[in-house]
Amino acid sequence: GPAMGMAVALALLVLLTADDAVPVKHPLLNICMDAKHHKQEPGPEGKLHAQCSPWKDNACCTANTSSEAHRDQSNLYNFNWNHCGVMPPKCKRHFIQDTCLYECSPNLGPWIDQVDSSWRRERILHVPLCKEDCEEWWKDCKDALTCKENWHKGWNWATGTNRCPWGSMCRPFSKVFPRPKDLCEKVWSNSYKYSPEHRGSGRCIQMWFDPAQGNPNVAVARYYAWKKTCSLAQVENMAPERDQAVRALPWSVLAL
């Protein structure tokens, strides 16, 4: 019943806050999604390539995946960044960083969602991306060209790589994605959500971080995992509140 749900949540909380307690593995923390190139379990990878190297202490990607993430015509998904002419390097680095986060991060558990797709069983949905990460991505890409708003689907794959669909025009990012929020949320069909929170707040996921300072996304995942656990416990605990809400309604409404 409701009390049970709350008791479970509290017991978990006690176990996680006790210093000498046996660490309980939270099902949403330190995990890899079930997707095309992900390892089954996160772990150290000594040789992660370039922009993926911040994750080397604990990664869901292999060294090979990390170097493929940097190639123009990568074997990961045969995806072509240069579908409207050459993508400027300052823009492309954000897409590489986005690929590294997606492939390597073990801190996306609270946002993993089941999908029924030919190439993966899980995806991420509504990851709250820090305001600065989103805005810099947009600023560095606003003059690059693309012909599509959602890059997950609708391409012409006839040649084995993504080409612009017939009849679509190449336009500046700033026309296709008028605001940073549009780019972050629409380009990968809501994998990210534009967060008003700032880097370092512990409330948003950073695509870019300095590994010398540690991985800031560990704490962010923990915060949202507990939020999710507690709200599930609260849902089970709703019955008493619902009765109070009914009692607070005027008689005229109840009589309807």
N-term to C-term CA, the chain:
30
| pLDDT for position 17 | 55
Residue 55: which of 65, 201, 112 has the closest Cα? 65
| pLDDT for position 116 | 76
The answer to whether the beta carbons of residues 134 and 181 sit under 8 Å apart is yes
The answer to whether the beta carbons of residues 139 and 208 sit under 8 Å apart is no
Q: Which amino acid is at 162?
A: N
Q: Give the angle subtended at the CA of 227 by the CAs of 133 and 6, to the nearest 5°.
A: 175
| Antiparallel, parallel or unpaired: β 122-124 and 127-129 | unpaired
H-state helical runs in 105-156? 131-141
Residue 149: which of 181, 109, 123 has the closest Cα? 181
Q: pLDDT truncated to tens, each residue of the chain (256 aa)?
A: 656 666 666 666 655 555 555 556 677 888 888 877 777 888 888 787 788 889 988 989 888 887 788 777 666 677 889 999 999 999 999 999 999 999 999 999 889 888 877 767 888 889 999 999 999 999 999 999 999 999 989 999 888 888 999 999 999 999 999 999 999 999 998 999 999 999 999 999 999 899 888 999 999 999 998 888 777 666 555 555 444 444 444 444 434 3
H-state helical runs in the chain? 2-17, 63-68, 89-104, 131-141, 173-176, 180-186, 217-236, 238-248, 251-255
How far is residue 175's CA from residue 34's CA, in Å, rounded to a whole number? 35
Q: Give the angle subtended at the CA of 127 by the CAs of 206 and 196, to the nearest 5°.
A: 65
| Block residue for tokens 């084995």 | 160
| Antiparallel, parallel or unpaired: β 171-172 and 145-146 | antiparallel
* Per-position DSSP letters for 26-66, written without gaps between them: -TTSS---SSSS--SS-B--TT--GGGGGGTTSBSS-HHHH
DSSP state letter for 123: E
User: Any idea where the domains of the chain sit in the sequence?
Assistant: 50-154+168-232
DSSP state letter for 110: G
Tell which phi-psi region holds residue 39, choosing left (phi > 0), alpha (psi between -120 and 50) or beta: beta
Taking the model in full, what pTM does it have? 0.78
| pLDDT for position 256 | 39
Helix or strand run (H / E) with residue 194: strand 192-194
